[in-house]
Amino acid sequence: MYNFDYEAPSSVAEAVAALAAEDAQALGGGQTLIPTMKQRLAMPSTLVSLSGIAEMKGFDVGNGAVTIGGNVTHAVVAAGAGAYPALAELASHIGDPAVRNRGTIGGSLANNDPSADYPAAALASAAVIVTNAREIAADDYFQGMFTTALEDGEIITGVRFAVPEVANYQKFVQPASRFALVGVFVAKHADGVRVAVTGASEEGVFRWAAAEAALNDSFSADAVADLAVDPANMIGDLHGTKAYRAHLVGVMTKRAVAAAT
Amino acid sequence: MAKVSMTVNGKAASAEVEGRTLLVSFLREELGLTGTHVGCDTSQCGACVVHVDGKAVKSCTMLALEAEGAEVATIEGQAEPDGTLNTIQAAFREHHGLQCGFCTPGMVMSAAALLKDNPKPSEQDVREYLEGNLCRCTGYHNIVKSIMAASGQDVSALAAE
């Protein structure tokens, strides 16, 4: 890892100022960024740790919403998001216990790894990504693998989830990395069903419109039994072919609906 | 270089470190606490697990400067000052929970974190909790058995092979 200057601001305003430096990079829990820097795939000249910012540690539950500060770790979400059980369950299976004690929801969403779990939850929940500058709807936020609507130096200070009527996340893990080979988050809201798929597509997390339409007609596993995504857009690698991932999208969707009903 | 100060096994520790200095490097190279091991250096194997403010973390994937002001616990602080092993360590010895011993510091620290939150885990709980701790000797059965025994549960029926 190349060396860098380390800053540990105690407020969002200080962090924004520190991130204005050339080649500055925000550091959340570091569970992706530090390994990436060790491989010299990232080499910021200034690293701005967000973990000391108290105003990003909030965790509010109420009025049908769960609002989670950007600094909140996966372990804290797993233990504290009881008002949104599918989200707590998802958080409890990210990485391993030690990783969950460091990794943060803001960091995960800012990185938008195509195999990460939180993007599926955020997209299926119609979550609102709150930054230092604005609020971004999940539908506008995710823009392809490792790509988001965030501007340079913009910080995710929190995420607001609308708690669905029912929801479930099903993850088929890649056996070595334990990342999602395919993960499907199904959420039935008062105004419709949303189905978000992670791990599968070259475009990163995406909504499966055909499944949403079928589930709006009938919220049952049978309703999606005959649907399939186009393998052409799926990721194909040594862990699974495009056709295999496309098949898994269908299977995981059915399982998620069955578990939610 | 920047100054970092923390408490390690109850004692104040501080040093001038680079931004990129990992917590595990600080522990091993600045403080000489070489019980915390670097196995994979990619946050997968768990040989470097220590506790930071009571939570198990992979010290190869945390900067020393991120531990500013923290209470850090390592394997060196687990036994009594006179060398008497703690319950978990004693159970590892009793039940042959280590072979080459390289993963053992991380296993013991993960086990301690598990038992703090879940004093009577099931065998399945233990196996799931150890997802991020790898044993290249594949000695998992006896590691799990040791942790179950340390929790005060009867392990006579657990797989021994």
Tens of each residue's pLDDT in chain B, 161 residues: 999 999 999 999 999 999 999 999 999 999 999 999 999 999 999 999 999 999 999 999 999 999 999 999 999 999 999 999 999 999 999 999 999 999 999 999 999 999 999 999 999 999 999 999 999 999 999 999 999 999 999 998 886 55
* Among A6, A31, A98, beta carbon nearest to B2: A6
User: What's the rounded Cα separation, in Å, for the pair A106 and A86?
Assistant: 18
What residues of chain B lie within 8 A of the CB of A97, using their CB? 56, 110, 113-114, 129, 131-132
pLDDT (mean) for A26-41: 97
CA distance B156 to chain A (A): 28
Residue A227 sits in the same domain as residue A185: yes
Cα A171 to Cα A166: distance, rounded to the nearest angstrom: 17
82-141 in A: which are within 8 Å (CB) of B? 95-99, 101-102
The predicted structure's pLDDT at residue A83: 92
CB contact under 8 A, B19 and A102: no
A54 touches chain B (CB under 8 A): no
The per-residue pLDDT for A188 is 98
pLDDT band with cut points at 50, 70 and 90 for residue A212: very high
Q: For residue A154, what is the domain's CATH number?
A: 3.30.465.10
Q: What pLDDT score does A87 carry?
A: 98
Last residue of a domain, one of A139, A162, A185: A162
Give the pLDDT confidence of A200-209 residue by residue, as tens digits.
Answer: 999 999 999 9
Verify that A173 and A145 share a domain, yes or no. no
A131 and A75 share one domain: yes
- Alpha carbon of B13: minimum distance to chain A alpha carbons (Å): 19
ipTM above 0.90? yes
- pLDDT confidence of residue B56: 98
- Are residue A152 and residue A114 in the same domain, yes or no? yes
The 3-state secondary structure of A120-189, one letter per residue: HHHHHCCCEEEECCCEEEHHHHECCCCCECCCCCCCEEEEEEECCCEEEEEEEECCCCCCEEEEEEEEEE
User: What are the pLDDT digits (tens) for A143-160?
Assistant: 999 999 999 999 999 999
**Same structural domain for residues A157 and A58?**
yes
pLDDT in tens, A39-97: 999 999 999 999 999 999 999 998 889 999 999 999 999 999 889 999 999 999 999 99
Question: Which structural domains are found in chain B, ordered by start?
Answer: 2-77 (3.10.20.30), 87-150 (1.10.150.120)
How many degrees, rounded to 5, is the angle at CA A47 between CA A16 and CA B59?
A: 130
SS3 label, residue B26: helix
> Which among A47, A99, A100, A174 is the top mutation candidate for probing chain B, defined by the most B β-carbons within 10 Å of its own β-carbon?
A99
Query: Do A158 and A187 have their domain in common?
Result: no
Cα separation of A125 and A196, whole Å?
Answer: 9
> What is the reported pLDDT for A177?
85
Average pLDDT, chain A: 96
CA neighbours closer than 13 Å in the CB half-sphere of residue B4: 29
Same domain? For A133 and A223 the reply is no
Q: Which residues in chain B have their CB less than 8 angstroms from residue A35's CB?
A: 42-43, 61
At residue A193 the predicted structure's pLDDT band, cuts being 50, 70 and 90, is very high
Confidence of residue A219 (pLDDT cuts 50, 70, 90): very high
Residues of B in contact with A51 (CB under 8 A): 66
Are A74 and A148 in the same domain? yes
- Last-in-domain residue among A162, A184, A209: A162
CB-CB neighbours of A128 under 10 Å: 18
Residues in chain A with CB shorter than 8 Å from the CB of B3 are: none
Q: Answer yes or no: is pLDDT of A122 > 90.
A: yes
Q: For residue B153, which phi and psi values (nearest 5 degrees)?
A: -95, 155
Q: Does residue A40 sit in the same domain as residue A61?
A: no
Q: Give A178's pLDDT tier (boundaries 50, 70, 90).
A: confident
Do A60 and A158 sit in the same domain of this protein?
Answer: yes
The domain containing residue A201 runs over which residues? 166-260
Looking at the fold, whether A239 and A206 belong to one and the same domain comes out as yes
Q: How many domains does chain A have?
A: 3
The domain that holds A32 is classified in CATH as 3.30.43.10
Best B53, B66, B127 member to test A by mutation, with max A CBs in 10 Å, is B66
- The pLDDT of residue A108 is 98
Residue in chain B closest to A102 (alpha carbons) equals B57
Identify whether residues A131 and A186 lie together within a single domain. no
CB contact under 8 A, B61 and A51: no
